[in-house]
Every structure is written in C-alpha cells, then in structure tokens.
Amino acid sequence: MKKQKSIATFVLAALLIAPAVSRAAPSNGWFVNGGIGQATWHKSHDVGYQFNGGYRWSFTPGISVGLEGGYENLGRFNYPAISPTSTPGGGPAPPTYAYPPPVGGSGSGGGSVKTKLYGWSAGGNARADIGDHWYVSAHAGLWYWYGYYPPVFTGWKTNWYAGVGIGVDITRHYSVGLNYDFYDAPTGTNYSLSTNLISFSAEYRF
C-alpha cells in the first residue's frame, strides 16, 4: 500500500508542477518505446524488459495524455527446494519447496526452481515537459500476465500495473529516460509474483 501511495503522490506532484515550467508546443502523434533493466522479486534480481507503443494527444503546451499497449518480460527467479528427507519406511521422500513469504523471507535447503513472469498490458499514459529538455511521465492500466510458480500457481490472470519516469529529450522525436514500474501479480495464496522493474528506456515519437 505504501508503494502505491508513493507512486500516486509522485504522479500528482509531477502533473501539478509541470504546467508552470513546460516549454513544448502541442503535438499529437504515435510513439514507440522500449526499456531494459533490473526486475526485483522478493530481494532477488534478474533482467527484465518491456516494449510499448501508443498514441498521445496534447491538451496544453507541454502536457500530453494517451493510450498504450505493450509486452513485458520480468525475468526468471530461483526459489529454494528443501532437500529430500527419508520417509518413515526408509525410502527417499520427494522434495518439497520453500516459498518466499509475502514480505522479506528466505528459504533454505538444496536445489531450486525458476519462476516465469510475462504478460501484455493496456492502459493510459501522461507526459509533461519540464525545463528546456527534461520530462516526467506516468502510466497505469491492466496487465494480462502469465506466471509459473509451481506448485503455488501456474496460469494466466489479469491485474494492474503502474509506473513513473523521468528523462531527457535528445531531439524533438527521440528521448531517453529512467523508469520505475510495479506489476501486480497475486497468485490467490499468501505468495505473490508481484515484481518491480527499474529500467532505462528509449522512445521515438513519429
């Protein structure tokens, strides 16, 4: 909940401040962007990436709002398998798995299994110019995702995503930025696949 409140506060502050310092002329148009960076799940890290495209409409100089759709792959993470123990009859028991608890736990034992998390997104976005070349951005929407987390969960679900970013316009059409995104992925149990992504991105506006 604190994370979601922080995102909302950042977005609101950016959109309130930007009109006073915006500098770009109104423009409507299509855009594509992509990003790559560090995905984090329960203190574990892997490479994550996303591709995105859509259309923005300018409502005031320097501020535009639009629609977007994209694909996200949030990496694969090991979680520990407890070493097998003997059964009462003396034979080996099949391994059981230790899952990271909802907040900050860790497992122990031998071996590991890799999760998977990827999906398709559709939502809205906003961008506000600040200063001569800088901008802030925000987006949010629905996320249709696939998770592989046996034996806790395997399958498709629909939840939400949200994120904010800051960057610089290299030219009128091209910009680069730094972004933070959160992808909600509950499994229906106490164990979640929800993942954060901090990424560097590049965008081209047609």
Q: Is 17 helix (H, G, I), strand (E, B) or coil?
A: helix
Q: Dump the DSSP string for 74-136.
A: ----EEEEEPP-B-TTSSBPPPEEPPPPTTT----SS-EEE-EEEEEEEEEEEEEEETTTEEE
Identity at 148, one-letter amino acid code? Y
pLDDT band at 20; cut points 50, 70, 90: very low
Structure token digits, residue 94: 């099949």
For the entire predicted model, the pTM comes to: 0.76
Residue-wise pLDDT tens digits, 95-133? 444 455 433 334 433 456 789 999 999 999 999 999 888
Interior angle at CA 34, CA 64 and CA 72, nearest 5 = 105
Residue-wise pLDDT tens digits, 136-195? 999 999 999 999 998 889 999 999 999 999 999 999 899 999 999 999 999 998 889 999
The pLDDT of residue 100 is 54
> Which domains does the chain show, CATH number per domain?
2-85+94-205 (2.40.160.20)
* Segment 40-68 mean pLDDT: 94
Query: Which residues are CB-contacts of 178 (< 8 A; sequence separation ≥ 6)?
Result: 165, 166, 167, 198, 199, 200, 201
